[in-house]
Amino acid sequence: MPKGMRDFFPEEMIGRGKLFNAVKRVYEKYGFSPMEYSALEELKYLEKESSAEIKEMLFRIEDSDLALRFDLTVPLARTMAENPMIPKPFKRYCIAPVWRREEPQKGRFREFWQADIDIVGSTSMACEAELLACVSEALAELKIDCEIIVNNRKILDGLMEKSGISKKIEAIRIIDKKDKIGEKGAMDELTALIGEGKAKEILNTLTLTGTNEEKIAKSEKIFKGIKAGEEGINELKALLVLLEEYGVKITMDFSLARGLDYYTGTIFEVKMKGNDKSIAGGGRYDSLIGKFGGPEMPAVGISIGIERIPNVFPKNKTVSEVVVIPIAENNRKYALSIAKKLRANGINVELDVMGRNFKKQLEYANKMGIPFAVIVGDREEKECKVKLKNLSTSEEKELSLESCIASFIVPL
Amino acid sequence: MPKGMRDFFPEEMIGRGKLFNAVKRVYEKYGFSPMEYSALEELKYLEKESSAEIKEMLFRIEDSDLALRFDLTVPLARTMAENPMIPKPFKRYCIAPVWRREEPQKGRFREFWQADIDIVGSTSMACEAELLACVSEALAELKIDCEIIVNNRKILDGLMEKSGISKKIEAIRIIDKKDKIGEKGAMDELTALIGEGKAKEILNTLTLTGTNEEKIAKSEKIFKGIKAGEEGINELKALLVLLEEYGVKITMDFSLARGLDYYTGTIFEVKMKGNDKSIAGGGRYDSLIGKFGGPEMPAVGISIGIERIPNVFPKNKTVSEVVVIPIAENNRKYALSIAKKLRANGINVELDVMGRNFKKQLEYANKMGIPFAVIVGDREEKECKVKLKNLSTSEEKELSLESCIASFIVPL
């Protein structure tokens, strides 16, 4: 097994499939349609707007200009640049693996799955509202209690403008890691970069407290006459009104920066309540597609990190709902005919392929956690009946095949 | 877009999703459970039992001992060797991409999807019967009319033994390409390899004609006293009996060889009727897992080539079933409340995010092929109603929201 990668045995995979389906169903209810991309991308796209850190993490293919994708936004931007005439808004979801060649850590893999939704073609905050409503419904569906944190890059830009800071990207990087290095650490690093006065001014605004409305009122005063700041505040205000209508709650946090350099407006991060773990994130990237060679196209997206989601589904070893067991070898053919009919009714059926006797077949069914056994012997065969056994309660019933089938469609 | 690879826009992907689901449903009805593997594998496994041809086709990762998998059997064999204690039979399916660095041709890609089922742990022909019944049901579900061709490697081995041929692998390679080079071509190449007499003897047996029963009767005489041949014939006979019970028809063809060296018993190939294109293939590989470092474990599997399946599903541009359109800006909030209720009932709903007027929203819905519009204006809002418009017939109905929802659950 390659380092930092995983196989998913049925015990994991059955629950993962249910998780994927739950997310898909919600994404589709919001009108997002599925799209998939080649796993490999050309380096010219992968390296275009990426940090040096990401470039170090590429799984590069020998003797080629290709590497495995590290996210699902680069392929989206490439396909949009390649197909500029596609009708807008273009709303797609993609649930697929991405690869990063970094040191594996607990809960952090070199191959991991993302579940992205993006809207291309509109600058309206209605996009952000749909994305956040959709993701919070998906996470609620998975019984995850979370907090949505929202900021806008233009507010950070406004701050830099107001304080006359030229080392913008460096300053944003420091703000970005504030949670890791602490407020004191951030203050020290910012002071070293831009001097104590400006560092204080910035950190004061970033750490404004109060309700969203109070933060907005305070920051409106701060950004009076600063174009980027005013725009950022107005976008956040518009988003708050829409989210109120959707019934989605957010926390505004001016210190949220998020690493990626290509964000141009709203940025969001979703954290699990209780452990503060980041479970989803995204933002607006209105200039990325243009930089990939397409016409300028506004776009905004959010990505759920699938591996961050605690599994809420039971761990089954098999999809089989029932095993059909002949009591003796001469009942094998009748058992097969029963299995065929159950399968024709959409029921997942296990049939022995090991040449095992009755007892061993039951043992196997119990070991695999198959919930029911349909048992057929001479008497059942003669009377065209079956014996249905609940393997967890040992309860048995003699039934016609029709009643047996019905009992699976409306389970016992 | 990297050479020989593809993106799947919603127009393709929605149908592909339905195709995948149809295959999955059938696989699960036969008690196969899902499993997935890391995309990258260590070269020691990828190169172990592979032909020189396949080794040339690996997408290798720079500065590592890794490459992208070229099939789903190598990962299965590796995981079984790594986890020898997993309960048997182990029945899994895997629908996933594989990668081969070869010259792309029409209908042949460098990244393509396989849908595999395998059974590990049993030498019984009951495995082959379940696999073939399952695959033929999956293909029937996809409206594909196909022919299943079956042979057994032991028959080829028996032939070599009977004729005293030592260059077994070379001879099987020639037999394998008989369809491409023609019978005459095969005769010439075999003659060059083993002499005219033996070449004739082999080709005569390979091209036996008649029903399956006639072929068996003839070959039983030929293989009298040749152990491998007798075993092969007996396995085929046992399989025929089982398949009769399943109602699955096959064609025995002693000249079917299939390239992979690791097959040890039954081999199968599924061809589309009419164009003779191969759509699935597989066989028994009882010694592969042992060679990967695990204990000896019998195994047999079959793989559907997803890209070979003609798409039977309609090409939709979006998953959205309905667009909710406010007649004027002041109806937007009511429209959103309607959209929320439709979504809560599992209906896929599109809502404008472009700030478009009524007419433009309808135009977009028509362009995307969204089947229905729910239209709400002042009157609808006042009366707590909606107007439901069928966008293909232009038929309109005024309905309560409840009736509107019901009309989607049982479509108009």
One-letter amino acid at A89 equals P
Give the residue-averaged pLDDT of A176-203.
Answer: 88
Using CA atoms, how far apart are residues A386 and B259, in angstroms rounded to an integer?
A: 45
* Cα dist from A312 to A5, A108, A139, A369, B119, whole Å: 22, 19, 11, 18, 29
* Cβ neighbours for B135, distance < 8 A, ≥ 6 positions apart: B117, B148, B270, B280, B302, B304
Best residue in A32, A319, A349 to probe B by mutation, most B CBs within 10 Å?
A: A319
B39 vs A91, A111, A347: nearest CB: A111
CATH 3.30.1300.30 fits B10-308, yes or no: no
Which tokens is B222 given?
Answer: 């030929």
pLDDT digits (tens, 9 = 90+) for A188-199: 998 998 899 988
Q: Which residues of A touch B138 (CB under 8 A)?
A: none
A348 vs B10, B31, B75: nearest CB: B31
User: Touching check for A326 and chain B: CB below 8 Å?
Assistant: no
Residue B410's pLDDT band, with cuts at 50, 70 and 90, is: low
Query: Phi and psi for A232 in degrees, rounded to 5?
Result: -60, -45
Q: Which residues of B touch A348 (CB under 8 A)?
A: 28-31
Strand pairing category for B299-305 and B266-272: unpaired
* CB within 8 Å: A353 and B89: yes
Residue A260's pLDDT band, with cuts at 50, 70 and 90, is: low
Predicted confidence (pLDDT) at residue B260 exceeds the cutoff of 70: no
Residue B177: the pLDDT is 84
* Cα dist from B51 to A392, B55, B80, B173, whole Å: 49, 6, 22, 11
Burial B89-122 (b: 16+ CB within 10 A, else e): bbbbbbbbbbbbbeeeeeeebbbbbbbbbbbbbb
Residue B137's pLDDT band, with cuts at 50, 70 and 90, is: very high
Q: Which of residues B290 and A106 earns the better pLDDT score?
A: B290
Give the residue-averaged pLDDT of A398-407.
Answer: 92
User: Touching check for B125 and chain A: CB below 8 Å?
Assistant: no
Residue A356: the pLDDT is 97
* A-chain residue closest to B77, CA distance: A1
Using CA atoms, how far apart are residues A97 and B39, in angstroms rounded to an integer?
A: 9
Which sequence spans correspond to the domains of chain A? Answer: 10-308, 322-409
Whether the Cβ atoms of residue A268 and residue A253 lie closer than 8 Å to each other: no
Q: Which residues of A touch B340 (CB under 8 A)?
A: 246-247
* Cβ neighbours for A380, distance < 8 A, ≥ 6 positions apart: A331, A334, A386, A387, A398
User: Touching check for A193 and chain B: CB below 8 Å?
Assistant: no
Whether the Cβ atoms of residue A220 and residue A200 lie closer than 8 Å to each other: no
State the SS3 of A284-336. Answer: ECCCHHHHCCCCCCCEEEEEEEHHHCCCCCCCCCCCCCEEEEECCHHHHHHHH
Give the residue-averaged pLDDT of B363-381.
Answer: 97
Burial A90-110 (b: 16+ CB within 10 A, else e): bbbbbbbbbbbbeeeeeeebb
Using CA atoms, how far apart are residues B10 and A118, in angstroms rounded to an integer?
A: 13
User: Touching check for A32 and chain B: CB below 8 Å?
Assistant: yes
Which tokens is B152 given?
Answer: 């057994």
A13 vs B36, B352, B364: nearest CB: B36
Using CA atoms, how far apart are residues A347 and A321, in angstroms rounded to an integer?
A: 7
* CB within 8 Å: B41 and A2: yes
Using CA atoms, how far apart are residues A395 and A373, in angstroms rounded to an integer?
A: 11
Q: Residue B250 belongs to what H/E stretch? A: none
Residue A410: the pLDDT is 57
* Cβ neighbours for A243, distance < 8 A, ≥ 6 positions apart: A129, A132, A133, A249, A250
Using CA atoms, how far apart are residues B249 and B133, in angstroms rounded to an integer?
A: 9
DSSP E strands: which ranges in A10-109?
33-34, 40-42, 66-68, 90-99
Closest listed residue to residue B246, CA positions, set B151, B139, B128: B128
User: Touching check for B317 and chain A: CB below 8 Å?
Assistant: yes
Best residue in A14, A33, A80 to probe B by mutation, most B CBs within 10 Å?
A: A33
* Cα dist from B82 to B79, B98, B116, whole Å: 5, 21, 20
Which tokens is A103 given?
Answer: 């040191």
Closest listed residue to residue A60, CA positions, set B66, B38, B74: B66
Residue B408's pLDDT band, with cuts at 50, 70 and 90, is: confident
Q: By percentage, how much of chain A surpasses pLDDT 90?
A: 79
Q: Which residues of A touch B317 (CB under 8 A)?
A: 33, 87
Q: Which of residues A347 and A104 earns the better pLDDT score?
A: A347
Closest listed residue to residue A93, CA positions, set B149, B79, B348, B270: B348
Using CA atoms, how far apart are residues A86 and A79, in angstroms rounded to an integer?
A: 10
Query: Phi and psi for A69 in degrees, rounded to 5?
Result: -65, 145
Q: Which of residues B90 and B172 earns the better pLDDT score?
A: B90
* A-chain residue closest to B74, CA distance: A1
Residue B354: the pLDDT is 97
Q: Which residues of A touch B37 (CB under 8 A)?
A: 7-8
* A-chain residue closest to B7, CA distance: A37
B29 vs A29, A246, A348: nearest CB: A348
Residue A412: the pLDDT is 42
B28 vs A39, A246, A319: nearest CB: A319
pLDDT digits (tens, 9 = 90+) for A216-253: 999 999 999 999 999 999 999 999 999 999 999 999 99
Residue B175's pLDDT band, with cuts at 50, 70 and 90, is: confident
Distance from CA of A317 to the nearest CA of B (A): 8
Best residue in B3, B24, B29, B370 to probe A by mutation, most A CBs within 10 Å?
A: B29
User: Touching check for A157 and chain B: CB below 8 Å?
Assistant: no
Whether the Cβ atoms of residue A87 and residue B5 lie closer than 8 Å to each other: no
Distance from CA of A60 to the nearest CA of B (A): 6
* Cβ neighbours for A384, distance < 8 A, ≥ 6 positions apart: A400, A401
A92 vs B10, B88, B343: nearest CB: B10
Residue A312: the pLDDT is 83
User: Touching check for A279 and chain B: CB below 8 Å?
Assistant: no
Residue B386 burial (CB count, 10 A): 27
Q: Which residues of B touch A33 (CB under 8 A)?
A: 10, 13-14, 316-320
Which tokens is B369 given?
Answer: 């092929």
Whether the Cβ atoms of residue A355 and residue A305 lie closer than 8 Å to each other: no
Residue B412: the pLDDT is 42
* CB within 8 Å: B33 and A319: yes
Whether the Cβ atoms of residue B350 and residue B320 lie closer than 8 Å to each other: yes
Closest listed residue to residue B164, CA positions, set B208, B195, B185, B206: B195
* B322-409: CATH number: 3.40.50.800
User: Touching check for B318 and chain A: CB below 8 Å?
Assistant: yes
Give the residue-averaged pLDDT of A94-112.
Answer: 92
Using CA atoms, how far apart are residues A150 and A320, in angstroms rounded to an integer?
A: 44
Q: Residue A36 belongs to what H/E stretch? A: none
Give the residue-averaged pLDDT of B93-118.
Answer: 94
Which tokens is A56 given?
Answer: 């170090």
* CB within 8 Å: B34 and A340: no
* CB within 8 Å: B91 and A368: no
Judged by phi (left if over 0) then psi (alpha if -120 to 50, else beta), residue B59 lies in: beta
User: Touching check for B20 and chain A: CB below 8 Å?
Assistant: no
Using CA atoms, how far apart are residues B167 and B187, in angstroms rounded to an integer?
A: 15
Distance from CA of B249 to the nearest CA of A (A): 16
Distance from CA of A65 to the nearest CA of B (A): 9
pLDDT digits (tens, 9 = 90+) for B177-229: 888 888 889 899 999 988 999 889 888 888 889 999 999 999 999 999 999 99
Predicted confidence (pLDDT) at residue A261 exceeds the cutoff of 90: no
Query: Phi and psi for B118 in degrees, rounded to 5?
Result: -140, 150
One-letter amino acid at B409 equals I
Residue B31: the pLDDT is 98
* Average pLDDT score, chain A: 94
Closest listed residue to residue A324, CA positions, set A334, A316, A315: A334
Determine if the peptide bond prior to A89 is cis (ω within 30°): yes
Using CA atoms, how far apart are residues B274 and B248, in angstroms rounded to an integer?
A: 19
Beta bridge partners of A105: A108
Give the residue-averaged pLDDT of A122-128.
Answer: 98
Whether the Cβ atoms of residue A35 and residue B8 lie closer than 8 Å to each other: yes
* CB within 8 Å: A31 and B246: no
Q: What is the CA A130 to chain-centroid distance, rounded?
A: 16
Beta bridge partners of B81: none
Strand pairing category for A33-34 and A251-252: unpaired
User: Touching check for B22 and chain A: CB below 8 Å?
Assistant: no
* CB within 8 Å: B31 and A111: no
User: Touching check for A35 and chain B: CB below 8 Å?
Assistant: yes
pTM: 0.95
B124 vs A340, A350, A355: nearest CB: A355
Distance from CA of B188 to the nearest CA of A (A): 39
Residue B372's pLDDT band, with cuts at 50, 70 and 90, is: very high
DSSP assignment of B208-219:
--S-HHHHHHHH
One-letter amino acid at A227 equals K
Which tokens is A50 given?
Answer: 């990426």
One-letter amino acid at A169 equals I
Using CA atoms, how far apart are residues A151 and A176, in angstroms rounded to an integer?
A: 12
Using CA atoms, how far apart are residues A259 and A308, in angstroms rounded to an integer?
A: 19
Q: Which residues of A touch B336 (CB under 8 A)?
A: 245-246
DSSP letter, residue A5: -
Best residue in B25, B27, B36 to probe A by mutation, most A CBs within 10 Å?
A: B36
Give the residue-averaged pLDDT of A261-287.
Answer: 93
pLDDT digits (tens, 9 = 90+) for A7-52: 999 999 999 999 999 999 999 999 999 999 999 999 999 999 888 8
Using CA atoms, how far apart are residues B252 and A129, in angstroms rounded to an integer?
A: 61
Residue A291: the pLDDT is 95
Residue A367: half-sphere exposure toward Cβ, Cα within 13 Å: 12
Residue A383's pLDDT band, with cuts at 50, 70 and 90, is: very high
* CB within 8 Å: A2 and B340: no
User: How many residue pairs bridge chain A and chain B with CB atoms within 8 Å of each other?
Assistant: 217
| A-contacting residues in B 54-113 (Cβ below 8 Å) | 59-62, 64, 66, 68, 75, 78-79, 82-83, 86-89, 91-92, 97, 99, 111
Closest listed residue to residue A274, CA positions, set A101, A146, A116, A127: A146
Determine if the peptide bond prior to B89 is cis (ω within 30°): yes
